[in-house]
Structure 1
């Protein structure tokens, strides 16, 4: 296991990447983001033909670990986070997200950046950024809107409403939901099919789909980067972060 929360295991043609910090609901620090980017970008060199991304324990990923990133330079955090999303979208091999539990904040972007996203029935999706004085990042403003449309994406982003796995499937945010005890087996079967498929044909198909549906992703990442860097320096974020850490409702100016 690596010193970060990122654990990788290659089995045959599949590379399993697990965010392994269950005690923090798989929240990510900068070192974790760097390790995750390294694992994704180096997947093909290991001989993997497909990537499965999931979380350990009862969560998929609950976004940034506020206790770990608060002292970091905002530019460093945002650049590391954006590299991971760009790496998933541009990976030469298919990426499958197995959303085994809550996907919150940046975790939603991780799930939606994958080519195929499958969720357990107990999972949910939550863009909780505005509740701490921030805006969505990780390309979520483009990824979520591309999947479910502007109206529903705006509702999720501005109001911070929780989206159940069932609703996520009905709106098109995920490909399918499975009973919790069947998620892993289903993802393994799909990953096995992709891993045995024609690598170059799959790569070109993925690129074509991304170009057609996510042509504005880079612009979205840059807008989010600039906005988030501004917001991180505001009293509203200081209040929101403290409210989360002290488990109380925030009081914004």
Structure 2
């Protein structure tokens, strides 16, 4: 779901019943909304999640009927979307509350302004089932050592910790003022200057990240690893 208000485009992940998880339809919808925002001349793109969670990661509904090849393709398409968002020649703002997990945390990390709502939690559990997704972008934000610790542990961190390590750029109870400030800054300079600044201050190895992800999903047993991880996570939630 997307809305354009002057130079500001808001894209809302709108599957709250699935925790706004990234399935093929959601990814295609975000791509289409980005196309529309760029075509309309948006200068600032805001990403939000409907309901209590920003995005809980890869949508695993229908996993039993999904082939290993299709699962791998879905994950690769998410990385391509993340690379597009990270490279956009306009200012991007993510407003995240609730659970911000897996590919959802990578989506948050791909944006310029990363506003965490109080009580939000962040985790990168992909390595738990063998995925190497978005690691270069994460390391660019928080540093190599911190990125390794986050990825190896797979545990969630709260909003205050996310701010302290550079994953979040602000922690607020209400994001309206922070979004307005980011949008004002985005329109203070002309579009060409913003695009040039983004191009010169962006440090990313898109080809390397995509290659690392492709190798990780190409390892035999991807679907089995995902199923085992999901079963383990469900059991842990049940014990909690």
Q: TM-score, normalised by structure 2?
A: 0.89
Q: Name the residue aligned to 1:29.
A: 23
Q: Distance in 2 between matches of 1:231 and 1:152?
A: 29
Work out the CA distance in 2 between the residues paired with 1:75 and 1:126: 21
Does residue 114 of structure 1 match 2:111?
yes
Query: What's the CA shift for 1:54?
Result: 1.1
Name which of structure 1's ranges 108-117 and 78-87 shifts more when overlaid on structure 2. Answer: 78-87
Do structure 1's residue 39 and structure 2's residue 33 form an aligned pair? yes
Select the residue among 150, 161, 171 that pairs with 1:167. 161
1:121 Cα deviation from its structure 2 partner? 1.7
- List gaps (5 residues or longer) in structure 1: 1-6
Q: What SS class does the counterpart of residue 26 from structure 1 fall into?
A: coil
Pick from 171, 189, 199: which aligns with 1:197?
189
Which residue does 2:235 correspond to in 1? Answer: 248
CA distance, structure 2, for counterparts of residue 105 and residue 136 of structure 1? 11
- 1:234 is displaced (CA, Å) by 5.7
After superposition, where does 1:1-253 map in structure 2 within 5 Å?
A: 7-68=1-62, 71=66, 73-131=70-128, 133-137=129-133, 139=134, 141-179=135-173, 182-210=174-202, 213-214=203-204, 216-230=205-219, 233=222, 235-244=224-233, 247-249=234-236
Q: Secondary structure at the match of 1:67?
A: coil
Contact 2:76 2:213 in 1 (8 A): no
Q: How many residues align?
A: 234
Question: Which ranges in structure 2 are unaligned for 5 or more consecutive residues?
Answer: none
Check 1:176–1:29 CA distance in 2 against 1; reply closer, same or farther (3 A cut).
same
Query: Contact conserved, 2:93 with 2:111, CA < 8 A, in 1?
Result: yes
The whole-number CA distance in structure 1 between the counterparts of 2:215 and 2:36 is 28
